[in-house]
Amino acid sequence: MKKLLDLITETMELAFDELGYEKSYAKVSISNRPDLCEFQCNGAMALAKQLKKAPIEIADSIADKLLDNKMFSEVNAVMPGFLNLKLSTDYLADYLVQMSGDPGRYGCERVEKPKTIRIDYGGPNVAKPLHVGHLRSAVIGESIKRMGIFMGNTMIGDVHIGDWGLQMGLIITELKERKPYLPYFNSTFTDEYPTEAPFTISELEEIYPTASKKSKEDEAYKEKAMQATYDLQHGNRGYQALWRHIIKVSVDDLKRNYKRLNVSFELWKGESDAQPYIPEMVRKMKDAGYAYISEGALVVDVKEETDTKEIPPCMILKSDGASLYNTTDLATIVQRVGSYNPNEIIYVVDKRQDLYFTQIFRCAKKTHLVGDDVKLHFLGFGTMNGKDGKPFKTRDGGVMRLETLLSDIEEKMYEKISENQTMDEEDARKTAAQIALSAIKYGDLSNQASKDYIFDIDRFTSFEGNTGPYILYTIVRVKSILNKYQQAGHSIVGIVPGAACSESEKALQLELARFNGVIEAAYAELAPHRICSYIYDLANALNHFYHETKILAEPDAAKQQSYIALLELTRGVLETCIDVLGFTAPERM
Ligand code: ARG
């Protein structure tokens, strides 16, 4: 379906055209004075300058032209030359009838040319638990992926785990100190290794920080860890078997955690998967003359003439020939282009890596790892801060595990809903988890991704104000009315064409009609916060309408039917939006 705003602009263009005015001036926007009108066109002012005429004269002539147009109930020319518009209730109702007739999409069309887009939005490291630093990537990335799918694209989410490098050598070294008798450390062992890992996830999460601490204090220990890393990467059979155990145990745990966040990945690739692509990639960069030795290291220049700040060369290999974070990301691009042949790769990563990704993208383009037609997109997000304005920490200043954060908020929600509910324990727990997730995700997504924000648990979990629980509360309210209506033996029909009787009803209808435009714009800008602010407006419009209107007690059956259909459409639009944001609403709360 065409967007309502576009339809109005088209009508306006026609009027301009018929009066001999340049129709590029006919653009219509949502009114910034809702007390005066619903839409406005300010084109007469700019046009007047060009034609050296009084703006009000032009506005008047257009208002005259539109006098009998069925689209509007009011067209007013006001000083100095504004056109204030109100939509006719019939026209609006008709638009909503069409929206209702398209359940699930509500008039939002898919993109004309679907793309294949790979999206990198995980970045956890093995053997380290997910902490709040990983929250934003997961929450924003999942929502962008869902927006992309809704718009008709093929989206391939890749967790891109950090499963390579010194951290693996550290774990192996510490294990060897503790359990030297394991077959993985016996070089004469030629049998199959055990299928069971010699550690649990909790042990692993303790082993890694211990080893990391030791390596900082003990030079010899660090040497051992570096040697173990080298041996692992150069075919030590026992270490490789151990490494597979580490990955397996970590990934199982990560999957469990992401699942609680309602986040999933199509691909569970890691940094290690890119390693086989490195030698060939480096050779090509050297052969083509892009890579050269500078102070011992192999680098590619990526600065451009138009740069206003210094962009240092992209390092490909360290002076000892070892690869680094950059090398892995570049090789990952080779790997990604090689499979699925994407039109675009989106990275949802901490914005402090902005310069780094500028270097990577330029290097990838310059050395032709990707064609010019492939879009590389960095979506950098800001930091999640505590109420003190510093990065979010536990009460004693430690790094907060994501699991702990989730459980704390679930518990808080559970207490809240248990106060005045008759749900059984299991239902209440499930509902609490749903509300908690809405609090966390909406709290995050309602901020522009690139900005830092304050994670305020008290505010985010409130059932009032601009919060996830408020949105869910509104949906539950609507569902409850719809259920009561159906329980009384009625069935829900589509919107009944006809007039909106009250201002609050019309305001709700106008909000609903914005849906396709909002989703389109949010996707174009990769901006989930636009969807959040839309559903907040929509929920407010719904609640206002609800307070002003007798719905279940309405004696006129036709009127009631129309109200109910409007509620059903509101429910559908709200639930579609929160699904795109990555959370769901309960039946009761
Ligand atoms: N594992 C990295 C870290 O902890 C984040 C990875 C982000 N993605 C990427 N393709 N570099 O910082």
In whole numbers, what is the pLDDT of the chain averaged over residues? Answer: 94
Q: Which tens digits make up the pLDDT trace of 306-323?
A: 999 999 999 999 998 888
Per the structure block, which two tokens stand in for 397? 């200043």
CA distances from 569 to 161, 354, 513, 566 (A): 41, 41, 10, 5
CA distances from 295 to 292, 341, 361 (A): 10, 36, 23
CA of 123 to the centre of ligand 1 (A): 4
Q: Closest Cα to atom 1, ligand 1: which residue?
A: 123
Q: Are 81 and 55 in contact (CB under 8 A)?
A: yes
pLDDT of res. 498: 65
Select the more confidently predicted residue: 421 or 325: 325
Per-residue pLDDT band at 495 (split at 50, 70, 90): confident
Q: Are 122 and 265 in contact (CB under 8 A)?
A: yes
Q: Which tens digits make up the pLDDT trace of 50-85?
A: 889 999 999 999 999 999 999 999 999 999 999 999
pLDDT of res. 121: 97
Shortest-distance atom of ligand 1 to CA 349: 7
Q: Which tens digits make up the pLDDT trace of 286-303?
A: 999 999 999 999 999 999
* For range 560-567, the mean pLDDT: 93
Asked which of 134-148, 347-361, 391-405 is least confident by mean pLDDT, the reply is 391-405
* pLDDT over 70 percentage in the chain: 99
Give which of 319, 347, 348, 322 is closest to 333, Cα–Cα: 347
Q: Is the pLDDT of residue 493 over 70?
A: yes
Q: Is the pLDDT of residue 499 over 70?
A: no
**Amino acid of residue 120:** D
Q: Closest Cα to atom 2, ligand 1: which residue?
A: 123
* For range 457-464, the mean pLDDT: 94
CA of 122 to the centre of ligand 1 (A): 7
Shortest-distance atom of ligand 1 to CA 133: 4
β partners of residue 72: 87
Choose the residue to mutate in 120, 345, 379 for probing ligand 1, maximizing ligand atoms within 8 Å of C-beta.
120
Give which of 440, 476, 447, 446 is closest to 461, Cα–Cα: 440
End-to-end C-alpha distance for the chain, whole angstroms: 35
Q: Which tens digits make up the pLDDT trace of 239-258?
A: 999 999 999 999 999 999 99
**Amino acid of residue 117:** I
Q: Closest Cα to atom 3, ligand 1: which residue?
A: 123
Shortest-distance atom of ligand 1 to CA 357: 11
Q: Closest Cα to atom 10, ligand 1: which residue?
A: 329
pLDDT of res. 132: 85
* For range 155-179, the mean pLDDT: 95
**CA–CA separation, 14 vs 284, rounded Å?**
58
Q: Is the pLDDT of residue 184 over 80?
A: yes
Torsion over CA of 47, 53, 56 and 59, rounded to 10 degrees?
-40
Q: Is the pLDDT of residue 450 over 80?
A: yes
pLDDT of res. 574: 98
CB within 8 Å of 410: residues ≥ 6 apart: 429, 432, 433, 436
CA of 464 to the centre of ligand 1 (A): 36
Q: Is the pLDDT of residue 494 over 80?
A: no
pLDDT of res. 396: 80
Q: Are 126 and 247 in contact (CB under 8 A)?
A: yes
Query: Ligand 1 pocket: which residues have CB below 6 Å?
Result: 120, 123, 125, 160, 162, 329, 347, 349
Q: Is the pLDDT of residue 144 over 70?
A: yes
Q: Are 306 and 358 in contact (CB under 8 A)?
A: no
Q: Is the pLDDT of residue 460 over 90?
A: yes
Q: Is the pLDDT of residue 570 over 80?
A: yes
Q: Which tens digits make up the pLDDT trace of 95-124?
A: 999 999 999 999 999 999 999 999 999 999
Choose the residue to mutate in 353, 354, 402 for probing ligand 1, maximizing ligand atoms within 8 Å of C-beta.
353
pLDDT of res. 534: 98
**CA–CA separation, 556 vs 561, rounded Å?**
9
Around 472, how many Cα atoms within 13 Å sit in the side-chain half-sphere? Answer: 31
